[in-house]
Chain A
């Protein structure tokens, strides 16, 4: 079973920040939080990952709460091309690539 809980769907207006929440209340101390997205049956795309500090890259920001039980992926200026299913995944750093994928959040960006 997936170790994360995400809302099944969200809407966001184009140009606004999209904030996607993820609960991972059973996360262990050495487990990382990864975010991927999948645009309509294309190959999933890696976005960002983090352990406990907030992270930012050219695509998004990842905010992890101090207790690490939840996180938020932020797309600062959403565009129509950001419409996709977003997956939040937790995994230990030394595990194999057996990522446990949940159902994700379907994010719809509206003009």
Chain B
């Protein structure tokens, strides 16, 4: 089944403890993105990747890192999480520009 998977789906952590949210797609898509969704602010893009080893900042990249060493994986790294990064995170992929994106199920992160 074609899909985007994220792990973990739920995570509660403490300030400063490094964490990684994994994202994987099995559709051989070139383009992948990370978004966060907060009440009243909608979805905002964090980082995106147009291909392997090609990443760029979105609207709200501060406090996040990404890597794209393989086409299928696009992990989101929080080196030192803070409470303002408590949010619902979505990974998305697409075969190319101009095509609709496939979204993962989301990761609900709480930073205490």
- List chain A positions with a Cβ less than 8 A from chain B: 2, 32, 34, 36, 41-49, 93-99, 101-104
Contacts and interface: CB of A to CB of B under 8 A. Distances in A.
A45 B92 CA distance: 10
List of 9 A-B pairs having minimum Cβ-Cβ separation, nearest first: A46-B100, A43-B103, A101-B43, A101-B42, A93-B98, A97-B33, A44-B103, A97-B48, A98-B45
Prevailing SS type, chain A contact patch: loop
Contacts of B85: none
B58 to A, nearest CB: 6
A97 B31 contact: yes
Nearest to B3: A43
Nearest to A51: B98
B88 A41 contact: yes
B59 to A, nearest CB: 7
B56 A96 contact: yes
Contacts of B100: 34, 36, 46-49
Nearest to A43: B103
A99 B90 CA distance: 13
Contacts of A98: 45, 48, 58-59
Contacts of A43: 4, 90, 92, 103-106
A43 B93 CA distance: 12
A46 B27 CA distance: 15
B94 interface: yes
A44 B97 contact: no
B76 interface: no
